[in-house]
Structure 1
Amino acid sequence: MEKKKLPETPRKLPVPVTGMSCASCAINVERALQRQPGVRSASVNYADASALVEYEPSVIGPEALRAAVRGVGYDLLLPESASAAAAGTVGAAPSAGPAADPARRAANAPAASWADPDSAAAARRATDAPAASWADPGSADPGSADPARATAPGRAAAAPAASWADPDSVDPARIAAARRAETRAVRNRMMGALALSAPQVLISMAFPQLPYTHYILWALATPVVLVWGWPFFRHGWQMLMHRTAGMDTLVALSTGCAYAWSVFNTLDPGYLRSKGLPADVYFEAASVVIAFILLGRWIEDRAKTTASDAIRKLMELQPSVVLLETPDGATREVPLHNIHPGDLLRVRPGERIAVDGAIDAGESYIDESTLSGEPLPVAKHEGDPVWAGTLNRQGSFRMRAGKVGRDTLLAGIIRHVREAQGSKAPVQRLVDKVAAVFVPSVIGIAVLAFIVWWVSGSLPQAILAFVTVLVIACPCALGLATPTALMVGVGKGASIGVFVKDATSLERLRNIQALVLDKTGTLTEGKPQVAALRWFAGDNVQARALLYSLERSSEHPLGGAICAALEGGGGAAASGTAPGPVPAALPLLPLQGITSVPGAGIEGTFVRSVYRVGNLRWLRISGVAVTQEVEAWAAAQESAARTVVVFAKDGSVLAGIALHDRLRPGAREAVADLTARGIAVHLLTGDNAATAAVIAREAGIASYEAGLLPGDKTAFVRGLQGRGLVVGMAGDGINDAEALAAADVGIAMGSGTDIAMDVAGMTLVNARPDRIPAALDLSKYTFRAIRQNLIFAFVYNVIGIPLAAGAFGFQLNPMIAGAAMAMSSITVVGNSLRLKFRPVGRPATSVGRSTIQTI
């Protein structure tokens, strides 16, 4: 039978673009990429000079993408892995086997790097196998690997040549070097142009009657126009050959015409004079226009570098060398790319942690503010997880590497921030359409102005109008209006622990009218504790081991709490029932057919009996007989705002477990803030009505629904949308994923599951509800800046172009037009940068231990 070919998983390639000078350039690059076979989508961001390309590796490779971009006059800065792969076949798979390339898996599912799906149980498993929760299930346990591997002579050869830990993205040092080289080249051209333009202006204004004035101006203008201005002409010609146009086209046309007209009048002034027309020259205008444009571009480049500070600062958090502990206990410094999962690393006071992992020996206080936003260092002990990019404040410790390279939490954050900054808001698509026709329209207006003035009998004024219109028109301000504000907004969000996945979510967030909150893990801490454990039958070692084994397979926070209680002594006694015998270590029993039912519970089979742990409703549906004794006990626990789950064998109840949870810090204040903004807040939970009522009352929420399944939550969200409301949903679990996807804006808690974060539009890394109002402010301020930028850019062009054409009865000097054009871009970027200094939300209050620990 013929094998079905599985659909190929596309790859995403974030790559810097060089040579762009305006928004029209970004559109040209985007179109060139989108036209290539095998490219599913391409988005080019002019503000940070980058492209995000999604392509099919079997059809096209990075080198072919680069060739397409070079064909329209620009270039791509490819990562090392892409250059190396160019030597092989385009569609060759980089490696085989389930564990051969975990980085590749992360690339195909970016959100997975935000969370370890096994992290909810990591602490429980730490004593059994410290590195197990980090291990690739398809490979050998790194902890059991031969320790000599750490110093094997061939090992370094397998690593990438650069110190950058992510071979599938461009080394930030290369990007920075390329940006510096571009900025330095523009600065050098600008300084040369300014140096020769200033004497031209002085001679033209103060000494116009000097002998050979025109020849002096010609000599001074030629290097400015034909040397420092040559890239405008070269790039303009390349675009013309590909039937496109951009800012360089306007500059080349305007300054080229002014220069050529001036040369003609210098060599043959009698021709125009014989017709009664002045033989004016515009050498100084052409020179000053180029100087001002280069000055504006240099300032703009520096401002855009500031706007993308978030990415640069995040990248700087990861050290390039680490202290590796060898099998004999000695330590030596090695490049970061030589570190593999399972390696032992030493971290000294004041050093940043390089990879994700867990403390193997020692203890310390770790400053996690770069990831969680919490100001106080967190106490860490043996077995506790630590993350790349955090700072070791006190104490030296040894850690076992878990996730390295692009699999670390920090690398995932960088990817998400980069993709969010490069994504386009819906408003940007309209701007792109305008920018696409902007340059041809401006050229048409300039030609029309030339014809009108020429027909009216003034050829010099016709040329002046033509040049001035081309100079003053600025697609750059229009193109920078949206992406610069998004870059700064997303970067500011990253600094306060709000990570935005795409611009659409950020744009919608400011308009939400209703916010739906999940209870456990979202509004509450999601760290429940067992308040009571009541055995109704069969309290023995095997029953406890079965309960323990079943809950060990669960990722739900309640499962972790029950396991912790059983490990620590069997839980609290209730109703006079003392805890039964507790073994030194509960054995893990081999249950079969373990199935998790979202919003209900978990079940598994052992020796032909079905064991279930879940809520009473699900157990009744499953055919479990719930006695009056169990009902009365459960009602008493629920009246005390406790969550009740029941342990059953086949059709009878063995035990009841009551758990309680606390509101997250800032939850009440967040609800009050949202309510004051006119946003209706709703609490949804699968828990019982009594617990939901108590939690809602504590949080100040008037509307709540209890006993809901995942589908019920989705139906509730759709019901609100059916009333015409824009709905946000905040959740953390697999059971919230459907509702998160259905909402207009999904907000995942950083302490939740990777599935929830995958479908949500933004993630609160520190999992604090009081970051939701901050995210609302961020959305409001970002799009206010975008609106201001767009209004300015449109008004500038609507007024400036007719003014330059002479429509108001007087002629604008091209030099003034050049200065105005440069200032328009600078103003837009400067307005966007104001976002960096706008306070958002309430200041984060200090809490003991950061909730980032379960990311």
Structure 2
Amino acid sequence: MKHSHKEHEHEHEGHHNHAEHEHHVGHAYHEEQVEKGIHDDHAHHDHHNHGGGGHAHHNHGSFKELFLKSLPLGIIVMLLSPMFGFQLPFQFTFPYSDIVVAILSTILIIYGGRPFFQGAVDEFKQKEPGMMALVSLGIGVSYLYSIYAVIATYVTGEHVMDFFFEFSSLLLIMLLGHWIEMKAVGEAGDAQKALAKLLPKDAHVVLEDESIETRPVSELKIGDIVRVQAGENVPADGILKRGESRVNEALLTGESKPIKKNIGDEVIGGSTNGQGLLYLEVTETGDKSFISQVQTLIRDAQSQPSRAENIAQKVASWLFYVAIAAALIAFTFWLFTVDLQVAIIFTVTTLVIACPHALGLAIPLVTARSTSLGASRGLLVKDREALELTTKSDVMILDKTGTLTTGEFKVLNVDVLDDKYTKEEITALIAGIEGGSSHPIAQSIVKYAQEQNVQATSFDSIDVVSGAGVEGNANGQKYELISQKAYGQSLDINVPKGATMSILVENGEAIGSVALGDELKETSKELIQVLKKSGIQPIMATGDNEKAAQGAAEVLDIEYRANQSPEDKYDLVNSLKNQGQTVIMVGDGVNDAPSLALADVGIAIGAGTQVALDSADVILTQSDPGDIESFIELAHKTTRKMKQNLAWGAGYNFIAIPIAAGVLAPIGITLSPAVGAILMSVSTVVVAINAMLLRLDKK
């Protein structure tokens, strides 16, 4: 949403109807979560770290701490208890060591197992048992049966096999998997807080006797006059009453050039005052202000559930039902054909085998590998569901300025309109007349002359012509550099699409012209071709005017929407999502933040504002559109690896569960616990190696 001042006003009007339908869904929840600073949980990373995707969110202590504190206990348990009753060379026992193991396991299940049981309760409440239910089943059954085995051994004097080894190894691997994943995904920033920081805490209110009273921004009223000094952030939306300055609205529009403000112009709360002293009359406060409107849009967006399918969750869910069914069948069958003791053994073995160690690491190892690969390419992925959703996306909405274009004014061409002059001479005159100005457009002209190795003409005097341009005297001639409109006569010049044109006039005659515009980034064109090849429809949405937007869109050959306010962009994403499309949004300003949060995948350009970065799922640190291609490749390859690993981790189980239940017992094959353990280790190793094989093509 980059725009001249007029568009600004238009944009503001469209803004005010939003506060009325504020949902506060998820807001208090989000704050509480940010304070805890924990976004954990495996399969439940709901979109933008918000609940609501049908899976409950788990904030149960940091998995790093849980894992590191459980590790020594778990290792002791594994050293003192045989694996599936099968003695390994490094294991040892001593009198009553089984009681020591039982006590340590009890501490382990209460401390390390808690997040899984709490997670399982949440899943059952949602009527969707999945990963947490499966892990809880595995550790719960193995723990309870093992405690029974220890008691039975002492009561009957006969050794009953326990599953303490399986219990502790499973618990440790699941905690490790969660920690790896949390570490990979990292902390998501809070866009709400980043926005709130833009407004100063206090405002300087001018009283009737011209004295200044400092008052908290929250106590400002409409109609108050506030003074904003150079370098300060504007405390509230207002109209300029006295003074003039350039105001940097980069934070709001994503556009870095400061915008000239004259009396009667609108100034947005949160923008930064440049050199001058401004006196503003407050027009909007509280939830009607621009920043609040954007906050509301972000909050609404974040309370929407994610549309990621979460394959791991599905696989775990199937395994849970398969295990329960197989265990019930096995129990019934062995109870009636042999006896209760045998039935219990088969049932427990089935349930313990059901939760594969490999499944706990299948996704986290790929996530960790994918995250580090992405980071080496300048792609920071904050939400792993973004990868899965990218592989299914239909539309990509791209902001223009700063995303597809450089966001900086650049001389596109200099034309000679009078044969007496060469292009160098015209360039020298234009650079000379603009030499004294600090305006970004003037700076870009001076820079262009330097690049062309042209020495700027020295002017005796230079004056600003209000609303038209600049004039000055050099070599006894009077020169003006003014807008086409101010020149007032039509000239036969080929103006590049979307560029602004200034005319150089000597003693009333046009002798040259300069076209300035926002230049497309080199990789933008290639990106659009890649998107079309991948079956993703690109749409450019910009706050720029129709002419500037159309120019860029024609060069890129894409659909576009011009004059877009934050709300318009938000509505565009929303309407596409309502048509069942999966939407990726790419942007860099506060104006893009609501739609970055609402889109299925939000990609923020690294040079953008903190608010945009906090609202997105993915950050491109290099600000290069070409990196979007790398991200799409990363998404496809990562998703493929995740599916392969789940197939390995779960496939082993779909075979092992029936065997453990005794399906092949009639022909003399039962799953010897030792073989079960070896198979389990093999599938875990395969999953780990497969994750490490994830690679990106050379750039």
1:710 to 557, 564, 568: 564
Deviations 1:643-682 (A, max 9, x none): 11689xxxxxxx9973145443444544454444344555
1:199-598 matches, cutoff 5 A: 219=95, 222-223=98-99, 225-231=101-107, 245-263=136-154, 265-266=156-157, 281-283=159-161, 286=162, 289-295=163-169, 310=184, 426-428=308-310, 432=313, 442=323, 445-446=326-327, 448-474=329-355, 477-478=358-359, 481-482=362-363, 484-530=365-411, 561-562=440-441, 564-565=443-444
Contact 1:474 1:824 in 2 (8 A): no
Which fold has the larger relative contact order, with Cα–Cα distance below 8 Å and residues 6 or more apart in sequence? 2
Contact 1:571 1:579 in 2 (8 A): no
**Offset at residue 491 of structure 1 (A):** 4.4
Contact 1:449 1:465 in 2 (8 A): yes
SS across alignment from 2:515: strand
Contact 1:499 1:764 in 2 (8 A): yes
Shift in alpha-carbon separation, 1:794–1:631, aligned structure 2, 3 A = farther
Distance 1:715 1:304 in 2: 36
TM-score by length of 1: 0.45
**Offset at residue 787 of structure 1 (A):** 2.2
Correspondence for 1:191: 79
**Offset at residue 766 of structure 1 (A):** 0.6
Shift in alpha-carbon separation, 1:460–1:202, aligned structure 2, 3 A = farther
Shift in alpha-carbon separation, 1:755–1:176, aligned structure 2, 3 A = closer
Matched length? 499
Contact 2:174 2:361 in 1 (8 A): no
SS across alignment from 1:427: coil
Alignment of 1:658 with 2:515, yes or no, is: yes
Contact 1:533 1:657 in 2 (8 A): yes
**Offset at residue 827 of structure 1 (A):** 4.9
Shift in alpha-carbon separation, 1:42–1:526, aligned structure 2, 3 A = same
Distance 2:616 2:490 in 1: 38
1:811 to 631, 646, 670: 670
2:618 to 762, 780, 785: 762
Correspondence for 1:384: none
SS across alignment from 2:33: strand
Shift in alpha-carbon separation, 1:12–1:202, aligned structure 2, 3 A = closer
1:182 to 70, 76, 83: 70
**Offset at residue 465 of structure 1 (A):** 0.9
Contact 2:549 2:561 in 1 (8 A): no
Distance 1:464 1:793 in 2: 24
Contact 2:64 2:179 in 1 (8 A): no
**Offset at residue 717 of structure 1 (A):** 7.2
Contact 2:173 2:361 in 1 (8 A): no
**Offset at residue 722 of structure 1 (A):** 8.9
Deviations 1:51-104 (A, max 9, x none): 55xxxxxxxxxxxxxxxxxxxxxx635xxxxxxxxxxxxxxxxxxxxxxxxxxx
TM-score by length of 2: 0.54
Contact 2:180 2:365 in 1 (8 A): no
Correspondence for 1:747: 603
Distance 1:709 1:811 in 2: 70
Deviations 1:592-626 (A, max 9, x none): xxxxxxxxxxxxxx9xxx9999xxxxxxxxxx994
**Offset at residue 249 of structure 1 (A):** 0.8
With 721-730 and 786-795 compared, the bigger mean Cα shift is at 721-730
Contact 2:606 2:622 in 1 (8 A): yes
Letter in 1 for 2:309: V
Gaps of at least 5 residues in structure 2 are 1-21, 125-132, 189-301, 416-430, 471-482, 504-511
Letter in 2 for 1:190: M
Deviations 1:26-74 (A, max 9, x none): 99xx99xxxxxxx98599999xxx955xxxxxxxxxxxxxxxxxxxxxx
1:632 to 479, 491, 494: 491
Contact 1:232 1:252 in 2 (8 A): no
Contact 1:532 1:657 in 2 (8 A): yes
Distance 1:729 1:689 in 2: 23
Deviations 1:561-604 (A, max 9, x none): 3263589899999xxx98976779x9xx9xxxxxxxxxxxxxxx
Shift in alpha-carbon separation, 1:191–1:807, aligned structure 2, 3 A = same
SS across alignment from 2:392: coil
Correspondence for 1:381: none
Distance 2:347 2:171 in 1: 23
Contact 1:481 1:789 in 2 (8 A): yes
Letter in 1 for 2:102: L
Distance 1:780 1:831 in 2: 15
Letter in 1 for 2:142: V
Distance 2:559 2:306 in 1: 36
Shift in alpha-carbon separation, 1:734–1:305, aligned structure 2, 3 A = closer
**Offset at residue 472 of structure 1 (A):** 0.9
Shift in alpha-carbon separation, 1:727–1:817, aligned structure 2, 3 A = same
Distance 2:74 2:337 in 1: 40
Distance 1:708 1:42 in 2: 33
What is the percent sequence identity of the aligned residues? 24
Shift in alpha-carbon separation, 1:567–1:755, aligned structure 2, 3 A = farther
Distance 1:220 1:518 in 2: 69
Gaps of at least 5 residues in structure 1 are 1-5, 32-38, 53-74, 78-174, 204-215, 268-280, 315-419, 535-543, 553-559, 590-605, 614-623, 648-654, 844-855
SS across alignment from 1:710: coil
1:50-199 matches, cutoff 5 A: 76=61, 179-193=67-81
Contact 2:323 2:351 in 1 (8 A): yes
